[in-house]
Each structure stands twice: as structure tokens, then as C-alpha cells.
């Protein structure tokens, strides 16, 4: 069993030769017992654009590409020697920004062709990094990047990461349910897309059309998974003054927006046969670009929700979960 400190120490040692440090953000939570038996590395929103002036990942700093490539290489090298898991939490590409504000546009060659991203995409391919599909790269629902074309199963709206961690982008709660319906009344249909859709097997629009649901629910699903989404204001989250329940020990907890709806989605995914009885102790999300930890419940089971932050503008976050701790770090 790898402890959190052991995983962090080993990972830091892999980045030190590149002059890159792994610094705490203060966003962390601790739980009773070694809940995360295999270390997990989660890369949040990256938003690779076309490498030009408007690229919100580079923000005019080509060195940022080297930092992300080094981080992915370090994860690759760690995984060569340690049993561990890795996931990217969506908005890997920013197709919305590059392709005329259409997140479903499949003409994202400008992102794949950006020379400055070659090494990043080399390590993405070498890792076989699984990507949650977000709202800025929703076109991946219909067409994944060419360099990953052999691995359509590595691009999904949601992933189990081991037996007790579930990952999704987190934008699925931002579109209001159809008129006259509550989120709880339609959540199972969103969970069906989360848990059962794989790119390339069919088109997302066709997958939704084949669901046996009312037309207004189909429209809501299409808006949820393929439409544009307003960014959330995540900079003013209230602290959660309530002491967390067992087995959650401690953390700098806030009340994250839509946290109960996120857990409702995960509860539905847990019930699918393909989940094989797995139940989440930890849910990984991104989307907001602001890291945080919060907690809520699925039934009576306490669940930690960890938002891993982003690589946009000046940010460069990485979430690590191992042993009894989940924490978000700055890569500097």
C-alpha cells in the first residue's frame, strides 16, 4: 500500500530534474483509512487551443507546454514503476474557442497541428491517458483526436477510477431540466449517457434519439452534453461550517455549486450493471477552474467531491489521491 506521502515524494523526484516543483494549494481532504489503495493522478481542464495568441492554455507562454509535457512524462515514469491510475477530467481541447464557438465542430485539426503541442500529445498517447469529455471538447463524443483513434474507449463522459472513485467533468448539472420536471426526475437519463456512451460506436445525437424518453428530455440531454454552457462563478464558494461525518476526517471544505446533483448522477451510474457494484467515496470533477473540496452524501454514505482546478491562463494544477488523502497541487 502506497501512502500519500510516498506517492508525492516519488512524483516530486521525477519532476525535480526539470526544475519543476509540486506545491500544495491548501485544497486537501483526509479520510479514515487507506481509501485510495492505488495512487491517482488527475489532470484538470487544459483547454489546448491552436497555440496562437488567443490560446488560453499557453497565454502567450510557450514554456507552459513544456511544463505540461514534463508533468505527463513524470506520470508516465511513475506508472512504469508503481501501480497507479491517471485520468484527465475534460476540456482537454478547447474546440469551442478554436472552431467558431461550436463545441461539436469536428474540424479541430488546428489543435492537433499546433507544433507547440507535439510533445504534450506524444505523452498523452504514450500514457494512453483516459479523457473525460467536457463541454469545450464535446466533439469528442463524435470524433476523438487522430493520435488516439485506436482508443475510443479512453474517451467517455464519465469513468470509474478504481472501485471507489468516479470522474466526470461536472458541467452536466448546469442546464435546467425540462419545464415541469426536477433534476431528480431526469437524472437517470443523463446518467445513461455518462455511463454507457462510447465515442465511435454511434453518434451522440443518435444515442440520445434512441433513448425511450420524452422529446423534451431528449432535447435537455442534447443541450447538456452537446450544447454551450456558461462558466460557473466558482470564486465565491462559501465555507462549509459543518463538521464532516465519518469516515471523512478533515479538509478545507466549501459548499460546491450543484454538489448534490453531481452525486445524484453518480448514484445512478453506480446502479448500472457495468459498474459492477462499485460505490464512490470520492468524485473527481473539474469545469470550474477553481480547485476545492466539498462533501455531501449518496443516501447515508458520505462522499468527498474534489475539483482539480485547471491549466488555463496562469494555472497549472494536478490532483493526487493516495492512501488516506486527496489534494490539489500547483505545478510551478
Partner 1 sequence: MSRVPAFMALGVALTSVGACCPVRTGQLTGRWVAIAGENGQGAGIATKPALAQPLALTAPSEACFSNQQLREHFGPGCEENEAEAAASPDLTDDPTQGNQPTPGEVHWYCDRRTVVRVVLARCPGTNTFRVRQLAVSIAAEGR
Q: Where on the chain is the footprint of partner 1 (CB under 8 A)?
A: 38, 40, 76, 79-80, 83-87, 106-110, 112-113, 115, 118-119, 121-123, 125-128, 130, 142-144, 146-154, 159-162, 195-196, 198-201, 274, 276
Which run of H or E residues covers position 40?
A: strand 36-43
Nearest distance in Å: CB 262, partner 1: 19
Nearest distance in Å: CB 149, partner 1: 4
Nearest CB to partner 1, comparing residues 113 and 250: 113
Nearest distance in Å: CB 189, partner 1: 17
For 46, the grid coordinates are 487544459
The β-bridge partners of 87 are 42
Nearest CB to partner 1, comparing residues 23 and 118: 118
Nearest CB to partner 1, comparing residues 209 and 216: 209
Nearest CB to partner 1, comparing residues 84 and 261: 84
Q: Tell me the three state secondary structure of residue 304.
A: strand
Name the DSSP letter for residue 138.
Answer: G
Nearest CB to partner 1, comparing residues 11 and 220: 11
Nearest CB to partner 1, comparing residues 138 and 248: 138
Nearest CB to partner 1, comparing residues 158 and 251: 158
Q: Round to whole Å and give the CA distance between 301 and 82.
A: 30
Name the DSSP letter for residue 235.
Answer: T
Nearest distance in Å: CB 127, partner 1: 6
In what side-by-side order are the strands of the sheet with 292-298? 158-160, 165-168, 282-285, 301-307, 292-298
Q: Round to whole Å and give the CA distance between 259 and 4.
A: 26
Between the two ends of the chain, the Cα-to-Cα distance in Å is: 28
Nearest distance in Å: CB 101, partner 1: 17
Q: Round to whole Å and give the CA distance between 183 and 178.
A: 9
Nearest distance in Å: CB 85, partner 1: 4
The burial of 34, by beta-carbon neighbours within 10 Å (0-12 exposed, 13-18 middle, 19 or more buried), is given as: middle
Nearest CB to partner 1, comparing residues 28 and 127: 127
Nearest distance in Å: CB 2, partner 1: 14
Do residues 255 and 40 touch, judged by C-beta distance below 8 A? no
The per-residue DSSP string of 192-203 comes to HHHHH--BTTB-
Helices marked H in 256-323: 259-270
Nearest distance in Å: CB 138, partner 1: 14
Amino acid at each position: 500500500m502506497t501512502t500519500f506521502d510516498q506517492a508525492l515524494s516519488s512524483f516530486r523526484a521525477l519532476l525535480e530534474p526539470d526544475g519543476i516543483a509540486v506545491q500544495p494549494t491548501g485544497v486537501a481532504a483526509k479520510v479514515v483509512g487507506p481509501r485510495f489503495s492505488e495512487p491517482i493522478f488527475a489532470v484538470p481542464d487544459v483547454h489546448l487551443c491552436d497555440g496562437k495568441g488567443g490560446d488560453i492554455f499557453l497565454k502567450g507562454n510557450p514554456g507552459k507546454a513544456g511544463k505540461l509535457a514534463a508533468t505527463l512524462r513524470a506520470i508516465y515514469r511513475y506508472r512504469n514503476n508503481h501501480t497507479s491510475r491517471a485520468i484527465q477530467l475534460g476540456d482537454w481541447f478547447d474546440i469551442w474557442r478554436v472552431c467558431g464557438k461550436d463545441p461539436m465542430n469536428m474540424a479541430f485539426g488546428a489543435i492537433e497541428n499546433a507544433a507547440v503541442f507535439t510533445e504534450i500529445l506524444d505523452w498523452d498517447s504514450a500514457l494512453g491517458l483516459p479523457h473525460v469529455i467536457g463541454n469545450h471538447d464535446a466533439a469528442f463524443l463524435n470524433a476523438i483526436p487522430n493520435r488516439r483513434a485506436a482508443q475510443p474507449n479512453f474517451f467517455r463522459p464519465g469513468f470509474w477510477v478504481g472501485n471507489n472513485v468516479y470522474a466526470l467533468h461536472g458541467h452536466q448539472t448546469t442546464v435546467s431540466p425540462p419545464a415541469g420536471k426536477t433534476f431528480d426526475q431526469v437524472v437517470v437519463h443523463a446518467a445513461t449517457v455518462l455511463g454507457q456512451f462510447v465515442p465511435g460506436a454511434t453518434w451522440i445525437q443518435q444515442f440520445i434519439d434512441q433513448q425511450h424518453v420524452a422529446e423534451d428530455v431528449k432535447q435537455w440531454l442534447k443541450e447538456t452534453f452537446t450544447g454551450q454552457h456558461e462558466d460557473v462563478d466558482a470564486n465565491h464558494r462559501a465555507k462549509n461550517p459543518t463538521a464532516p461525518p465519518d469516515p471523512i476526517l478533515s479538509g478545507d471544505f466549501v459548499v460546491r455549486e450543484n454538489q448534490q446533483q453531481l452525486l445524484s448522477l453518480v448514484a445512478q451510474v453506480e446502479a448500472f450493471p457495468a459498474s459492477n457494484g462499485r460505490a464512490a467515496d470520492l468524485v473527481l470533477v473539474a469545469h470550474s477552474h477553481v480547485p476545492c473540496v466539498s462533501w455531501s452524501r449518496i443516501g447515508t454514505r458520505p462522499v468527498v467531491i474534489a475539483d482539480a482546478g485547471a491549466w488555463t491562463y496562469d494555472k497549472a494544477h494536478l490532483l493526487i489521491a493516495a492512501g488516506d488523502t486527496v489534494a490539489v497541487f500547483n505545478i510551478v
